Structure 1
Amino acid sequence: MANISGTRVPQEPKDEPITSKFDEGHNEAQVIQGQLRNSPNLKRRLKSRHLQMIAIGGTIGTGLFISSGQALAHAGPIGALIAYMFIGTIVFSVMTSLGEIATYIPIPGAFTSYATRLIDPSLGFAMGWIYWFSWAITFALELTATGLIIQYWDSSVNIAIFIAVFWVVMTLLNLLPVNFYGELEFWFASIKVVTIIGFIIFAICIDAGAGKQGYLGFHNWVHPGPFVDYLVTPGPTAKFVGFWAVLIQAGFSCQGTELVGLAAGESENPRQTVPRAIRATFFRIILFYVFSVFFIGLLVPSDNPDLQLGTSNASASPFVIAAQLAGVKVLPSIINAVLLTVVLSAANSNIYSGSRMLIGLAQDGFAPAFLSKTTKGGVPYYGVLLTSAFGLLGFMNVSTSGGTVFNWLLNITAVAGFILWASLNACHIAFMRALKARRISRDFLPYKAPFQPFLAYYGLFFNILIMLTQGFTAWIPSFSVESFFVAYVSLIIFAVLYIGHKLVYRDPLVSPLQADLDTGRLEVENEHWEVTAPTTWYGKLWEMING
């Protein structure tokens, strides 16, 4: 790997110190040459295997195991499959965009800092807070899902009990040093991966005739059909409407892959581990998602009433429905038990990512400085507690309208994720311009992604398009204020944050020559990690699998 040194950068006038204020006279963030005086004492304790499983574990959650059922009901087996594959190309554009920046500047709370340094401090402020809001709300979503899953066995149990119990457990776990989190996520994610592989094998057997339904083949693609007519008069338009409506669910399912970039600030040897994690994570997730959705479409008819998310337990999961239809009595309970570990893993990642995002906001002066304080073990305890507090919103689901609340939270968090993806693509475009202004070739980047910078423009365009059009169902069949608010509340919050910050501080846009490409980079280049080659056969196998 080539070492990028400052000798290739032409001499320029020294930039003014990058400063940004959260509250004038109360909490002024003092930044000297782009670096906070009181930087967080995070520890680089995450290994390569931790980093890869954190991304996989944070992504494979309720979006795949529960919400994919609604995608099948709205778009049909082929419509849902195409939607997930299309979102996969957007994920690729985001991951490669993030990868080039994160390996060059691997810092804590990276996303808000990238936007602040490369584009506009107001964008960093708005994007950082909306992303934190997304993970904080998603934590409540996952806690709600734990109750729904447990109610599969006993619907008489009050969901509030489990929300309270798991809220306490998840909060305490995130107060442990980061290597404990990494190890826990490694095993949680391993269970998910084994479950999906097992489901794929199970699906092949059932589709070939091992279940009580006999040979299925592509029967469900013929009846009820490959596509579903959704909302409007049956025909090609109705089928396209179903496909486009599913994009928001598919996007929600894949969101979390970007956690690799967020965890880069706590990973060992990020210049080596982050590119490897990005390559492996993308292909694994696409493989798992595409194959899972494909086989779900083979086993479960799109008109199955249990697919509708209005049901109040995990019977809405297409994985459970597939096992029930096959007549395998014990498998639904096994899958349901795995679903419980799935959502707990995702909830664990929610607090981690939210707390690290608060560190980035505090570093850039966009949040109170105390949020960047850490324990001796490198745990940002104030950030953990603030993020976990939003999990208490899960108690809204104690009412009988649990499915409605679940849908609300799903849409709010999903759109916020698209905002982040679009911002990361925009950051990469600005990053390329900054490199060009300094005459730094992409050949000198620690990770040089394929098809860039064209993929960044591709991802930016479609992320914005999906954000702006995903709420079209609010006008069908007649305008619904509630549906409109659910669809666009994240965009409204983002706009208020951006405009409000711009009006108060009037920070100018960052020019390519002013972009800070050094803070965080030089520190990493001066550190050295001992790279130990595996000696055991299983270690060598793991190394080969991970590239």
Structure 2
Amino acid sequence: MASPNNTAAFQGSGDEVPEKRTSIGEVHHDDDDYGADTELKRSLSTRHLTMIALGSSIGMGLWLGSGLSLASGGPAGIFLGYCLAGSMIWCVSHSIGEMACVYPLPSAFVQWTGKFVDPSAAFALGWSYWFSYCITIANELQAANTVIKFWTSAVPVAAWISIWFVVIVAINVGAVTWFGEIEVVASSIKFGWIFVVIISMIVMSAGGAAYDAVGFRYWNEMAFTNGFKGFLSVMPTCIFAMSGSENSGLVAAETKNPRKSVPRAVGSIWLRLSLFYLLGSLMITINVSPKNDDLFGQEGTNASPFVIAYRDAQIPVLAHMMNAVILISVISTGSISGYGGSRTTMGLAYLDMAPKQLQKADKKGRPWYGLVPTFIIGGGLAYLNVSESGSDVFGWFSNLTSLFTLFGWGMICLSHIRFRYAWARQGRTAEELPWKSWIYPLGPWWGLIMCFLLIIVQFYLSVWPLGKSPNAVDFFANYISVIVIIVLWLGARAYFRGRWWVDIDSIELDEGRRFYKSDAELAEPKATGFKGVATKTMKAFFS
């Protein structure tokens, strides 16, 4: 059933058709300021979405967690880990890009899963992902405390957590445009600084620092510090570091023109993967020994490997600047997690999987009913760092988040596969899509298979942890995410009953869809005069 349009569709600003059919079948009239079928304001631009896509996931996982990965996996282990994780998120991002142009919904992949896969899977994904956002807020807050310790230990841990928690909350309670501008600034700082890191660390490794030339000495001496198992152990941290990249799908619901904004954001993924993760991780492997006791998670100062490299090179100015950039990064990532958590609960409410109040947003587009519980849980978990070491808390949280992320990425890829199948099954062509991924179908299949395999790998590492004997504490600490997902899924199955899969032939492809002016224009035959006007009018009313 096509969404009804009228002649006003061709008079709106931009490319978008302002009238569309909602998920409950009624005609909904939007002006260009409001998201499809929600109270969110569409006030974010292409610039906002592109910069958020570039920098949203650059936080503790890269700047701090890479030290843990370097120690456990070695130079080759961490670099290959980022290569593998990067190939996955590249495929996932293409799936997001294609679907977000057609269905820019507040919780994006949660609603896509309910529409194309199974409501029970959407329920499990939505609530587990919401908890993952809460965990990420906690992890970034405790990371901020670790970063501050490079300068001073005089202030209590709880005080720093409270200070940065207030900052993250303040960013989210402002207008959506305020949030977008702050993230643009933060992403610009991160993006600009990576060039300083790459150039300076190449010079340092070549002998232009306080120590002799290093080159690829550590690669030759200890490419893999703990063999193949050590390589496997870096994958949760690599996945955690790249988690958040899928937030571009959530932001699409609040952009003015997703068909222009989303493809540009997806097109920037390769730049982020190559500059931040691949070249960034390569730089620390040619400057920092995996046996350095000061690496995050080791016995020394628990610092970022990037800061250690500058400190050992006796360039204190760059060490302090690097630490400041890390602080900005973790606060930015925590802020985005609050944004993502509140939008996820809103999407669940639209699927009747959460209280209806969560659908509400105020006049500035702030979903208070989603923001408040997200920050209460996330902030509360952050205080675990008061009684436990930062690296231990990071290990727990990153393992939990990486499993939730793998489940989310897998559902995104599976939703894309079934979306395309339904699209073709109902007689539509790929050329009718607002934007078409050029790596389909290999991309989503690669992403789905790798997510499944890495969940199995994480089970192996939970039963036989690196450097430890099998024990119940480590198993549940590292694998409880999967248990939570299964319990949520089976509970939802018992409630929803019915089919295990959404019937492809029953999917209403135009429900929840955002239409663009060119969609209608492409469907119109070439005609002139009165006949052309009549044809356009009939198409507008009955397409």
Identity of aligned residues (%): 36
Match of 2:497 in 1: 506
How far residue 31 of structure 1 moved from its aligned partner, in angstroms, is 6.4
Pick closer, same or farther for the CA change 1:36–1:503 going to 2, 3 Å. Answer: farther
Alpha carbons 1:220, 1:298 under 8 Å: kept = yes
How far residue 330 of structure 1 moved from its aligned partner, in angstroms, is 2.7
Match of 2:8 in 1: none
- Helix, strand or coil: the match of 1:307? coil
**Count of residue pairs brought into register by the alignment:** 492
* Alpha-carbon separation, structure 2, partners of 1:401 and 1:480: 20
Cα deviation 1:280-304 (Å, max 9, x = unaligned): 1343233321000111100001111
* Alpha-carbon separation, structure 1, partners of 2:428 and 2:509: 11
Moved more, 374-383 or 50-59: 50-59
* Alpha-carbon separation, structure 2, partners of 1:198 and 1:49: 23
How far residue 331 of structure 1 moved from its aligned partner, in angstroms, is 2.3
Alpha carbons 1:351, 1:388 under 8 Å: kept = yes
- Helix, strand or coil: the match of 1:468? helix
Match of 1:76 in 2: 74
Residue type of the partner of 2:223? P
Match of 1:372 in 2: 359
Moved more, 385-394 or 282-291: 282-291
* Alpha-carbon separation, structure 2, partners of 1:319 and 1:522: 44
Alignment of structure 1 residues 385-424 onto 2, 5 Å: 385-390=372-377, 391-424=379-412
Alpha carbons 2:294, 2:303 under 8 Å: kept = yes
Alpha carbons 1:151, 1:157 under 8 Å: kept = no
Alpha carbons 2:65, 2:296 under 8 Å: kept = no
Alignment of structure 1 residues 152-163 onto 2, 5 Å: 152-163=150-161
Alpha carbons 1:34, 1:516 under 8 Å: kept = no
Alpha carbons 1:323, 1:329 under 8 Å: kept = yes
Residue type of the partner of 1:478? S
* Alpha-carbon separation, structure 1, partners of 2:289 and 2:164: 34
Match of 1:319 in 2: 306
- Indicate yes or no: 2:475 matched with 1:475: no
Which of residues 200, 204, 207 in structure 1 aligns to 2:205? 207
Q: TM-score, normalised by structure 1?
A: 0.86
- Helix, strand or coil: the match of 1:300? coil
- Helix, strand or coil: the match of 1:85? helix
Pick closer, same or farther for the CA change 1:197–1:522 going to 2, 3 Å. Answer: closer
Alpha carbons 1:122, 1:498 under 8 Å: kept = yes
- Indicate yes or no: 2:322 matched with 1:343: no
Match of 2:40 in 1: 42
How far residue 188 of structure 1 moved from its aligned partner, in angstroms, is 0.6
Residue type of the partner of 1:475? W
Q: Which runs of 4+ in 1 moved over 4 A?
A: 4-7, 34-39, 310-313, 522-528
Alignment of structure 1 residues 272-311 onto 2, 5 Å: 272-310=260-298
Match of 2:478 in 1: 487
How far residue 251 of structure 1 moved from its aligned partner, in angstroms, is 0.9
Unpaired runs of 5+ residues, structure 2, are: 5-21, 30-35, 521-543
Residue type of the partner of 1:81? F
Match of 1:227 in 2: 224
Cα deviation 1:256-279 (Å, max 9, x = unaligned): 111111111001110111011111
- Helix, strand or coil: the match of 2:286? helix
* Alpha-carbon separation, structure 1, partners of 2:167 and 2:272: 29
How far residue 146 of structure 1 moved from its aligned partner, in angstroms, is 1.1
Residue type of the partner of 2:373? L
Match of 1:352 in 2: 339
Alignment of structure 1 residues 114-153 onto 2, 5 Å: 114-153=112-151
Residue type of the partner of 1:70? L
Cα deviation 1:227-259 (Å, max 9, x = unaligned): 21x2xxxxxxxx211111111111111111111
Match of 2:368 in 1: 381
* Alpha-carbon separation, structure 2, partners of 1:414 and 1:151: 26
Alpha carbons 1:306, 1:316 under 8 Å: kept = yes
Residue type of the partner of 2:419? F
Q: RMSD of aligned C-alpha atoms?
A: 2.3
Moved more, 183-192 or 144-153: 144-153
* Alpha-carbon separation, structure 2, partners of 1:183 and 1:330: 28
Match of 1:496 in 2: 487
Residue type of the partner of 1:80? I
Alpha carbons 2:54, 2:268 under 8 Å: kept = no
How far residue 444 of structure 1 moved from its aligned partner, in angstroms, is 1.8
